[in-house]
Amino acid sequence: MSNKLPPDIAQMPSKPPFWRDAEKRAIAFQVVALLVVAFVSYYLYSNTQANLERQSIATGFGFLDKEASFEIGESLIEYSAADTYLRALLVGALNTVKVSFIGITLMIILGTLIGVARLSSNWLISKLAASYIEVMQNIPVLLQLFFWYAIFYESFPPPRQALNPFDGLFLCNRGVIFGVPETHAAHAVMGWAFLAVLIGSVFLSRWAHKRQDLTGKAFPTLRITALAAIGVPLLIWLAYGAPTAMDVPALSGFNFRGGVTVSPEFSALLLGLVIYTSAFVAEIVRAGIQSVGKGQIEAAMAIGLKPGQRLHLVVLPQALRVIIPPLTSQMLNLLKNSSLAIAIGYADFVAVTNTMINQTGQAIEGVALIMLVFLFFSLSTSLFMNWYNKKMKLVER
């Protein structure tokens, strides 16, 4: 056997010139693009630095451990004006997380309810849901925030004439104030027990699934988990002698002392964000449910699945495929819109950073921090949702 090529092929140039080679051309374009980006960012950076220096504006993040010396209205952690800017920023970030987390949870619940109501065969319910969606979707969210905030401070009485519908609950223009059980050693143990039950339920449900796959016998995981989640902490509470002391709010001086206060700013922001965004979620849920073929449901009926099982085993797994990606973007919307807090005085991350920028003048650093923190929150949310989306994908066999 000869390895020699026929003469006419050997004479052909072994390689085309590189600008004719699509692969090399692509690499060249990439390199050029990279260089341009690098040049532009270097230019922007050095230009900013030079300008800042020329105007003798201080730069750097050194100011973060200086004393903040301003108060923040509400905080999840201990904070006073004597703490550092870093801690003030942490307070702001936690406030953003608080409103976003509760907001996203409520948004999904309300959105799902309205989305399902929109599909109801009852004319009244369906039309009510439709008008809710149309109205709330089309009013700018900032306007809604002002509206809810005004309702709180205009329509509730001042603290000295607070509404007191029943013992331990007060409604006034300083917020909703209610009594909570006084701190007791039992509470921490109860909390841990509750968490342990939740973790245990994950393993239980895995085991139950496996058993059902093998033997076909169903196991009431949900009912047992619910029972344990209520029962175990209750037993612990009884074991500690059932402490019932309450921390009841009482009017002293200007405001209420004791108990827990939900501020009008937080409530207005939460209401505005949830009501606005859930209108979008409702439409997404409706689209998801409608995307499941009628035949699927009829087939499920034919094999004798109960309505709950039909929803849980047939409709939802298929609808979620359609629902999750746009739902993720609505979650991110709510998260980002929470920065409108400053308009109605809720101390979120942007509001705290704004104060910091003004006291220190470190605008570039402050804005960079805002971008970083929101990027981090958004990316973590979408990372989690992408993982969930993958998990919910149709398993093709």
Partner 1 sequence: MKLVKVIAVAICMTMLMVGFANAGKDLDSVKKKGYIQAGVNGGVFGFGMPDEKGVWKGLDVDTARAIAAAIFGDADKVKYIPLTAQQRFTALQSGEIDVLTRNATRTLSRETQLGLNFVQVNYYDGQGFMVPKNLGVKSAKELDGATVCVLPGTTTEQNAADFFRTNNMKMNPVVIESTSELAKTFFAGRCDVLTSDASQLAASRSIAPKPSDYIILPERISKEPLAPAVRHGDDQFFDIVNFSVLAMINAEELGITSKNVDEMLKSKNPKIQRFLGVIEGNGKALGLDEKWAYNIVKQVGNYGEVFERNVGVNTKLGLERGLNALWTEGGLMYSPPFK
Contact pattern for partner 1 over residues 9 through 38, marking x by CB under 8 A = ----------x-------------------
Are 353 and 64 a contacting pair, CB within 8 Å? no
Binding status of residue 224 toward partner 1 by CB under 8 A: no
Q: Which of 13, 216, 253, 304 binds partner 1 (CB under 8 A)?
A: 253
Verify binding: residue 66, partner 1, rule CB under 8 A. Answer: no
Rg of the chain, C-alpha, whole Å: 29
Sole binder of partner 1 in the list 21, 26, 37, 43 (CB under 8 A): 43
151 binds partner 1 (CB under 8 A): no
Q: Does 147 bind partner 1 (CB under 8 A)?
A: no
In angstroms, give the least distance from the CB of 353 to partner 1.
10
Q: Which of 358, 380, 384, 386 binds partner 1 (CB under 8 A)?
A: 358
> Considering the complex, what minimum distance in angstroms separates the CB of residue 276 from partner 1?
19
Spatial CB neighbours of 64, under 8 Å, sequence gap ≥ 6? 84, 85, 86, 89
CB of 147 to partner 1, least distance (A): 13
> Among 146, 150, 116, which residue's Cα sits nearest to residue 133?
116
Q: Residue 246: helix, strand or coil by DSSP?
A: strand
What span, in angstroms and rounded, lies between the C-alpha atoms of 339 and 97? 11
Catalogue the long-range contacts made by 360-369 (C-beta closer than 8 Å, 24 or more residues apart). Answer: 360/63, 360/66, 360/85, 361/57, 361/58, 362/58, 362/59, 362/63, 364/48, 364/52, 364/59, 365/59, 365/60, 365/61, 365/63, 369/89
Please report how close the Cβ of residue 69 comes to partner 1 at its closest, in angstroms: 5
DSSP single-letter state for residue 138:
T
Specify the DSSP element, H or E, that contains 296: helix 294-302
Contacts of 296 (CB under 8 A, 6+ apart): 314, 315, 318
Among 107, 108, 351, 373, binds partner 1 (CB under 8 A): 351
**CA-to-CA distance for 289 and 287, rounded, in angstroms?**
6
Which one of 29, 42, 61, 70 is in contact with partner 1 (CB under 8 A)? 70
Count of residues in contact with partner 1, rule CB under 8 A = 46
Query: Does the footprint of partner 1 cover residue 318 (CB under 8 A)?
Result: no
Is 361 among the residues that bind partner 1 (CB under 8 A)?
yes
The verdict on 41 binding partner 1 (CB under 8 A) reads no
Give me the least distance between CB of 79 and partner 1, in Å please: 11
Nearer to partner 1, 155 or 215 (CB): 155
Residues near 48 by Cβ (< 8 Å), separated by ≥ 6?
364
Minimum Å gap between C-beta 262 and partner 1 is: 14
Q: Which is nearer to partner 1, 14 or 155 (CB)?
A: 155
SS3 breakdown of the chain: % helix, strand, coil, rounded to 5?
70, 5, 25
Q: By rule CB under 8 A, what string of x and - marks binding of each residue 271-310 to partner 1?
A: ----------------------------------------
Which DSSP string corresponds to 34-54? Answer: HHHHHHHHHHHHHHHHHHHHH
The answer to whether 174 contacts partner 1 (rule: CB under 8 A) is yes
**Alpha-carbon gap, residue 93 to 258, rounded angstroms:** 25
Q: Does 154 bind partner 1 (CB under 8 A)?
A: yes
Q: Which residues bind partner 1 (CB under 8 A)?
A: 19, 39, 43, 47, 54-58, 69-73, 81-82, 146, 149-150, 152-154, 158, 173-174, 252-255, 257, 264-265, 342-345, 347, 351, 354-355, 357-361, 363
